[in-house]
Structures are given as structure tokens and as C-alpha cells.
Amino acid sequence: MKPERDPVAFIAARLERARPGGPFREGAFSSPLHDERVAARLGVALGIAFLTCFATGLVSHSRSTRSTSGFSPRPPRPAGCIA
């Protein structure tokens, strides 16, 4: 018969011996394109693009809805101007 092993100790020993592979190993992303500064600049550019799209969507929505607030001085379509 085999002597019983502690399952927690067995798993801990296996984890100590195991090396992470794939993208989790040390030095997997050694390209300069994976630099923190590049990621920060891309994040800022994407944030600006998202805010621009959001703001133009809000303006488009507010111009397409009829309101009495006076925010939209011109009608959204030229059909509203023709008598």
C-alpha cells in the first residue's frame, strides 16, 4: 500500500515546481511595443476618441429632438425650413 500524502502539501509542491508558460512567463513581452508608455499613450488616444464620439452623439441627439429650450436654433433637417 502507498502511504497517504497530504493533498495540500502535494499541491503546494507541484505549484512550486511548475513554471508559468505562455504569456505568463518572465520576458514573454519583450518587444518595445509592450512598453508602459506606449500603453499609456494608446489609452489616452482611445479615451479622447471615445469622448469625442460620445459628445458628437449627444449633440446629434439634442439637435434631432425638438425642444423649446433654444439649444437648437436650426432644425435638424431642411424640410422644417421650407414653408
In DSSP notation, 33-48 reads: GG-HHHHHHHHHHHHH
Separation of alpha carbons 83 and 25, rounded Å: 71
Out of 2-11, 15-24, 34-43, 61-70, give the one with best mean pLDDT.
34-43
pLDDT per residue over 36-76, tens digit each? 898 899 999 999 999 999 999 988 887 777 655 555 566 66
- Rounded to whole angstroms, the Cα distance separating 47 from 42 reads 8
Q: What is the pLDDT of residue 63?
A: 75
Side chain identity, residue 23 = P
Distance, in Å, from the CA atom of 41 to the CA atom of 37, rounded to the nearest integer, reads 6
